[in-house]
Structure 1
Amino acid sequence: MNHRIKKHPLHLLRGTLRTKMLTLFLCLIAIPLSLQGMITYSKFTTSTEERTAEYTAQIVHQINQNLDRNMEEMKRLSLMPLYDNSILSILRELGGSAQAPLYLSTEKRQKMTLYISSLSYSRPEVKGIQIMSLNGLVFSNLDPSTMKAQVDLRKEEWYSRVLAGNGASVIIPSHRPAYYVDTSLDRYFSVARLLREPNTNLPLGIIKIDMKMEMIDQILTNMPFTKEGSLIIGNQQQELFYEKRENETTPGYQALLQETAGLVHPGQSGRTISLQGQRYLLIDNVSARTGLTVISMIPIDSLLKDSNDLRSFTILIAAIFLVVAGGLASYFAYSLSRPLVSLKEKMLQVEQGHFHERVPVSSADEIGKLSEQFNHMVEEINRLVNEVYVISLREREAELAALQSQIHPHFIYNTLEAINMMAIRAGNYDVSDMVSSLGKLMRYTVDRGDGFVTLAQELESLSSYVRIQQTRLGDRIQVVMEVDESLRDAPIPKLLLQPLLENAIYHGIERQERGGTIWLSVTRDAEAMQISVRDNGKGMTQPELIRLRSSVSIPFHQNEASSSQRTGTALRNIYQRITLLYGVGYHLMMDSQAGQGSIFSLRIPIENEKRAMGHVQSLASGG
């Protein structure tokens, strides 16, 4: 059918194919290249921020894990006095109140000092470990000249926290303890615990472990950070534990508190904030064990240095490619249009019914592949046309044969019925059963129908066939049927199962003197019906199996010369019917071993016959 080409107001659509291709190439090249720099810059910038955020988050998480390990070790260390009865005895002697006596023998003081020194042994991160009675006496591992012998605990800021901890470990932020008498301004953070009498739970004293800030510096030794950034460690009360800034201009803890709502924003790690007129990438991590928050702030400008260089380089490359692409577009427009014109001419000839036309393939690119696919399509169309034609002829021959087989069917049925009655009168019940089964089998076979029956009808006919064979072979043959009851009303092609059993009997069981067993299995597999026929007959050798597999897949119209050889004809008929009705995804499968038997299985969709016939019609129409 010819269609008039509708005119379009755009001049582009009225040009030749080469003009259209050249214009299209230039547009496809110029527009992406003009946007490529901006898009690449945006993507690279975003990717850089994301990678930096992810990498920094891993580092911050690792720092918090290292802090957790150190803090857990200090917490465990603060429990040790509770397991030493001598230390507890000394604390009991000093009393559990501020009014307890201040005197303690030299021996007991020395014992306390040695015990505390043993706790601090090989712990360079610990400044000092102090055990204090409630009346303010201080015992420490440090030189007595650097320590006060007694302090007023009530004046210490950390003291109320320890009491509020009620025996649990308490992490105290950066502070300067009053019991140190040295003139340095060094600050420490601590882990402290209220020591209680194990039996009465009465308070006995306090253990306080002061840790150096160098411990955090040691954790950060192998952690790379940008020089423009800063690292802050605080707690849930917004108190500072540690702060590291590479220069004084970098915003730190105070700036973060003043210009934001707090140190921690749950679920917002990796966000961008603005401090002192500059944008920063903020990454934080909160420890579930200690409640400490590790925060890293990186200036956005430092992250975008590479992005700016990439933007300039991309603009230069885009300009060069635009010039080169213009020349290549002209060349390819001509090269691509030439084989397309040839392909168009061949398509017109095929449209007129010349299915022997082929397109010469002169390249291995997409156009060459298109030409190859076109040639393959034409070959396939030609094959399908011939196949449908042959199938149509064979269907007519089959209809004619069916008509011929129906000549006087009532006469044959009446004759069989008469033989059946004579056998019953004579007491030959085996003959009666065999004649009755033969009559049912003939009625089922001769009945034309529409090519489809239910599985139950097919099994009923198959039972008649089996009774005939069992009458003929006696105990030499056993047939076991296992059928999924939910499939009995499912439609299947008529006379699909009998050839499989017939093949198993004649080529497997009958040739064995001892006979054998045939197993028929019909099961459901998702939306398909799985049918298998297995026997323990003589089986086949591997060369025989290979020849049989090859022969069943050959279409009948391609093997007319060997039509006199009937080996595998029934199996080939099943293979061709299944493929024709349901497509190449469904076919007959077979396996066998000499002396062990054979198995034939096929898989068909659980669908109605209209859908199967629709597939045949689509093949006939070339769909």
Structure 2
Amino acid sequence: MTSHRFLSIRTKIAILFVVFMTVPFLVSGWFTYQKYMKDSEVSITSYSNQIVNQINLNLDRYIKEMERVTLAPLYDLNVMDILDAHSHSISTDVFLPTNEQFKMTLFMSSLQYDRSEIRGIVMFMNDGGIFSSSGNMTYTTWRAEQNEWMNDVYSEDGGLAILPPHEVEYYISGKQTFVSIARLIREPITNRKLGIIKVDLNAVGMERILTPFNLGIDSKLFVSDKQGRSLFPFTGSDGPNWQDPKLLTTSVRSDYSELLVIGQVPMAELRKNAANLTKFTLLISLISLSVAYLLAVWASTRLIRPLMELRRKMKEVQSGSFSVRAKVSTRDEIGFVTESFNRMVSQLERLVKEVYEVRIREKEAQLSALQSQMNPHFLYNTLESISMLAIHNDQLYLSSTVANLGKLLRYTVDNRQTKVLLQDEIRFVQAYIQIQTMRLGDKFKTEIYVDPSLQIALIPKLLIQPLIENAIEHGMGEQPMSIRIHADVDGNRLRLIIEDNGKGMSETTARSVISHMKSGLNDLTQESFGMKRKGYALRNSHQRIRLLYGNQFGIQINNRLSAGVRFTITIPLEWRLDE
């Protein structure tokens, strides 16, 4: 359970950095956002009120202009005369002289000039006749049942009447819907009704008048009269929704025209700029936090790097490598611990080497004692006698084998040097191979190639033979096997390569041999005569190289299942110096 809760110091430091940066940022950001949103709503509400008031002023100004237009006939005697000529009761047979039509059309066209919002100006005579600024675009007579809007005009009794959207049929193009401004015209002296002047405003014109200022993309504008009837928009609207909390509603009623102007803007539209600013701020904040997090990880990694390096070196010491040293990169508590570790490893390395050298000296002493007790000349003479006897009996192969055995004994017993020439080691290996060839026959073949320039290179004695023995032991199967031995130079290093094409080692065996070979100096096992030494020869050769030259040298094993094993010996390139 403890392993599942393990967190490295680097992770803990990084988490602390992240928490200390994120929490204050989130708290300050939340309060800043709330304050900004509140201030934005106050500012936007004030702006909306200003816009609606400005629209109301524009509407009042326009109503006053239309009022002057509807009063214009009272100041034109020709128009008043025509109105008076048609002031009698409504008739089914109405005649409008051409000169009257021309005068009235010219008069009303002058009133309509440069006013694109006006569809037409129409005068309705008491006798049922119609004069229009559009001339022949309208009918010349009207009927009361088709113009119910006249009731609103009569109710104003000469005052200005603002008519909500209604359909009219006096235009030749057919039924159309207009908002209109109309007035009942009376004779100034007698106060007698002379007719009605009516100004028809189209929807596009009304929208141009009411919306010179933009409340917002999705905003809505409503205009209603004092009876609450909708004047704008003409169609397609259910009126303002006063109860919707998602809408900001602003209204103002004109003191002059008593019209109510209502503006509604979605709260989402009001908060759009705030939302965009919030998104931008959030993006910048996320980038800043990401950079801060990366810096936190970098800082924690930099702080913990000496400890990580020390931990890695400890693992190497644990695996048996006592030559490692940790780099002291800081002058703080971690640096002090690193220096103490280096001193401790140095002492351990010195003690282990001393123990190992003592054991080597013990073995050398045992070997020297054995050699001193033996009479090598007696052995050589005996082997020579056996060889002569074999030649006498025409057993030349046996004689050659005995002679090779003698070479092995002379090399191992007489030659007490720790380093020998590469050519001498190759001769010893060739003698050993010939003995193995007698035992294995045609199933065993070898190939040796060493550049003549490397013949006088120095290598540790008895270095190659254990590898050949290992290759035979693990690689020999039912099929013939060949071993190839060659040497090359890599910079200032000598490489001796022994490879075979045998069956190779299983993965389990290979891992066991490599692990045993690389076991540390503190895992030494003393061999006794006659014991089965699987892996011990390899390990001793590998450790002997490391003791002589350092941990960067040794034996490398490359196991190729069903394709053989490749041993690579790497040692410094040394030459014999002639005395």
User: What is the TM-score when the length of structure 1 is the normalising length?
Assistant: 0.39
TM-score using structure 2 length: 0.42
| Larger Cα-atom Rg | 2
